[in-house]
Structure 1
Amino acid sequence: MQKNTLNRATRKDVAREAGTSVAVVSYVVNNGPRPVAEATRLRVLEAVKKTGYRPNSVARALASGTSKTYGLVVPNIANAFIASFAHALQQEALSNGMVMLLGDAGDCRKRELELINNLLSQQVDGLFYNSVDRHPYIDVIQASGTPLVMLDRVNPDLKVNILRVDEYEAAHQVTSHLLSHGYQEVGIICGPLERLNTQDRLAGWRQALVDFGVKERPEWIFPTAYSREGGYEAGQRMLAGDALPRALFATNETQAIGCIRALAEHNITVPGQLALVCFNGTEQSAFHVPSLTTVRQPVREMAKRAIEMLTAPEGEAQLSEFAHQLEIGESCGCSFTERRAAGQNDYKK
């Protein structure tokens, strides 16, 4: 069966229909570099419409040196925080006349590499990259000469642009708020232990325990996937143990929601019987029942900065670190009166 691409209209077809040269068609389509008489321009545009011609973006990128596209590679777009950040990046890119191409690795390193190579082959003007694990394919991107901004913590010796929040400090702050209620039996649902961001969040949780003189209980550390399913599964493991912690730090919002579902199936209330806080909250945190006490990242400001870093003149690699914001909900045990008295703005770092 013949592919439709073989019948795709070309500039020669447009030129033939308009009764002009291929060069003139190129001037009209690219809005230059040479002027074209208005009557001729209208005739070419009519021919474009009639033939159904669409410019070859890859060929145009090779000719002009720009594809007007960015690539974004993320571990899993099902993660609510990643989705919110991807949305903010896309909106910022559109505001700058660019299109964002999304690559969702589905938590698979092999697929991640395939996506990177595919985006590079499409001559994207830059890549935003959040790797599945702590071994990102930075060398592949740097070898291509494509501008890059990493959206996660990586080794500074790699000489790459990095955009991040201090996840250790964010985890420490939200856990400290939880412990300020006086809880002594505190667990954690974290991500896979080999992930750098898991290690940062786990270290922040541990330091808060030390600061408040609370004993760490290894049996209350539950590594799992950064997903609702992961949180639910961790909650089931926790419920199957000999005893429940009185308070819990979930290292992302979706884990918290999955865990709360597991607790609800056993009629365990939050925060009544188990208080909970989480990391990387989104707008969904405020609408969950109970509303979640969480650390949020300023995704709009971060997206704007990421674009600026990608388009900056070549030079030394930049590190841009953003302050997080602690938002008080009901899940930690704060009453409505206390939350209103505290005010959300009081918890900006």
Structure 2
Amino acid sequence: MTIKKLAAILGLSHTTVSRALNDHPAISQATKDNVLQAAREYGYIPNSAARALRNVSSMAFGLVIPDIQNDFFITITNAIAHVAAARSWQMMLGITGDKPEMEQAALLRLMTARVDGIIFAPTASPSAQTQELVTRTNAVQLLRHHDSLQTPVIAIDDRDGITQAVKHLRELGHTRIGYIGSARQLSTGSERLQGFLQNFSVAEQQALADIIYVGPPQAEFGGEAFRRVMSASVRPTALVLGSPRYAMSILLAAKEMNIAIPDDLSLVAYGDVSWGSLLEVKLTFISLPEKQIADACVTIIDRLMNQETPLSPEVFYATTGSQLFMPKLVVGDSTKALTQ
């Protein structure tokens, strides 16, 4: 959407539309309101090249995440927010609910506010407009990545994390190991599932098919999937979780089904949980490099805020580079050797 296209839709000259967008005193308030409303409706944002010519920084950046109930994103958001406050940066938060339309709206609002850059966890299916918007700003994908979005990525080696969990369980003698994780449509879900499967032969994968469940990254799914897994004709002796969102609902379902951990089932969680210290059994979990990721985000934001001239998206992408951080297995009391 350009000023000329917007002007044609409104039946105004492009000069009038331009002046209205720039709050020119010669334009009536009614016209300004109509133009601004249309700009929001049709997705007009100022051309990034024109912004670069003004050579100014808003000292604001956007952070767009799926929700604020995920322990991982809560930790990252808090860490970045504290640094931003200390450096007088303005952080603008967007929530997508993992819905492409909300993602598109969040990015559009941030770009209309002229932020210096955006760090975001993409949805499984970014819209065509989201893909276009990303090419017009300095954007970084956080934790997740989508091939349609040509931006640097700050992520975790999810395959390695899940592999560490499976190897730990196998060393304890477990062979019938179940898995509950996020859907393949999300890059994190796909990578973690592949990390699980790559530890088994094709024949072993087929034998485990009835105790492998993937679905939406929502807490409720964890409990539902757990009940299905534990209702299999042959129960697993161990279980790997592929998302921190599932831990609480799975532990509640285990209690409901009188399944003792680790006596009846060894359990490895993905990511530490804030309430873990309240449990009688200390969880074995894959520790995520949250501080390293937060520091990487801050470094990128710092670079954006301290550029003498705004970086073009092409230069930003070419010079920033993606970063992959390694998780680590932390052994607790929720796993034990299998007794025959």
Which residue of structure 2 lines up, in the alignment, with residue 140 of structure 1?
132
2: distance between equivalents of 1:253 and 1:260?
12
Structure-2 residue corresponding to 1:54 = none
Q: Give the one of 108, 112, 120 matched to 1:117.
A: 108
Q: Which amino acid aligns with 1:233?
A: E
What SS is found at the alignment partner of 1:217? Answer: helix
Which protein is bigger by CA-based radius of gyration?
1
Matched residue, 1:293? 284
- Distance apart, 1:276 and its partner CA: 0.7
- List aligned pairs for 1:22-101, cutoff 5 A: 65-101=56-92
For residues 160-214 of structure 1, the C-alpha deviation after alignment (integer angstroms, 9 at most, x for no partner) is 1211111111111122112211111111001113222111101111122349x78
Q: 1:323 aligns with which of 304, 326, 333?
A: 326
Do the aligned residues in 2 keep the contact of 1:252 with 1:278 (CA within 8 Å)? yes
- Point out where structure 1 has 5 or more consecutive residues left out of the alignment: 1-61, 335-349
**Distance in 2 between residues matched to 1:281 and 1:246, nearest whole Å:** 22
Return 223-232 or 130-139, whichever deviates more: 130-139
- Structure 2 unaligned segments of length 5 or more: list them: 1-52
Query: What is the correspondence of 1:238-317 to structure 2 with a 5 Å cutoff?
Result: 238-310=229-301, 311=303, 314=311, 315=315, 316=318, 317=320
Q: Could you list the per-position Cα deviations for residues 282-308 of structure 1 after superposition, in whole angstroms to 9, with x for gaps in the alignment?
A: 443344342211112221221121121
Larger RCO: 1 or 2 (CA < 8 Å, sep 6+):
2
Aligned match of 2:228: 237
How far off its partner does 1:223 sit?
1.4
Deviates more, 1:64-73 or 1:281-290: 281-290
Runs of 4+ in 1 over 6 A off after TM superposition: none
TM-score, normalised via structure 2 length: 0.72
After TM superposition, the structure 1 stretch with the greater mean CA deviation from structure 2, 197-206 or 275-284, is 275-284
Partner of 2:213: 222
Aligned to 1:160: 151
Give the match for residue 28 of structure 2.
Answer: none
Percent of residue pairs identical: 23
Letter in 2 for 1:319: S
Question: TM-score, normalized by length of structure 1?
Answer: 0.70
- For residues 60-118 of structure 1, what are the alpha-carbon distances to aligned partners after superposition, in whole Å with 9 as ceiling and x for unaligned? xx988233221111122222212222212212222332122211111212111111111
Looking at structure 1, the residues matched to 258 and 279 of structure 2 have their Cα atoms a distance apart, in angstroms, of 17
Checking the alignment, whether the CA contact within 8 Å between 1:88 and 1:299 is kept in structure 2 is: no
Distance, in Å, in 1 between the alignment partners of 2:108 and 2:237 is 47
Give RMSD over aligned pairs.
Answer: 2.8
Instruction: Tell me what 2:186 maps to.
Output: 195
